[in-house]
């Protein structure tokens, strides 16, 4: 993992958050960018809440933001969100946790369409809420 500043993390969120229109068909790349936008936004919010200026800095509990990896649900919890990103089922019945979604999309895993749509809606909901929280401070 390379380490970045809080400003770089927030800028990454802002650069990646362009996906707003879920009514159009999203490409695999669009889905991955949406995932990474949410991840960067959640990490940026966490860093802001704990006054961390670098990703390697530890919070009062001895955690740094890189300790979360891609675990969006833990980041949601740590940032005070009251909901989680649901699992989605692959066509072969494999259950894909939120922290592995980017891999499923990157490697072309075939997933149940409706569950994926629900998951994408939830990612978009988080994205929108992050946009509000990061622009106007923490609520």
Domains of the chain, by residue range, sit at 6-136
What pLDDT is attached to residue 137? 53
3-state secondary structure of 96: strand
How much is the average pLDDT of 25-45?
A: 93
What pLDDT is attached to residue 139? 41
pTM exceeding the 0.85 threshold for the entire prediction: yes
What pLDDT is attached to residue 22? 63
Are 87 and 96 a contacting pair, CB within 8 Å? yes
């Amino acid at each position: 993992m390379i380490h970045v500043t809080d400003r770089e993390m927030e800028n990454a969120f802002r650069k990646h958050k362009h996906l707003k229109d879920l009514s159009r068909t999203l490409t695999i790349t669009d889905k991955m960018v949406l995932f990474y936008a949410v991840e960067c936004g959640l990490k940026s919010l966490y860093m802001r809440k704990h006054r961390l200026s670098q990703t390697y800095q530890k919070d009062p509990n001895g955690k740094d933001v890189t300790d979360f990896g891609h675990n969006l649900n833990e980041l949601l919890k740590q940032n005070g969100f009251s909901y989680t990103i649901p699992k989605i089922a692959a066509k072969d019945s494999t259950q894909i946790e939120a922290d592995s979604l980017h891999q499923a999309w990157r490697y072309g895993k075939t997933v149940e369409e409706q569950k994926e749509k629900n998951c994408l809606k939830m990612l978009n909901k988080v994205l929108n809420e992050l946009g509000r929280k990061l622009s106007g401070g923490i609520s």
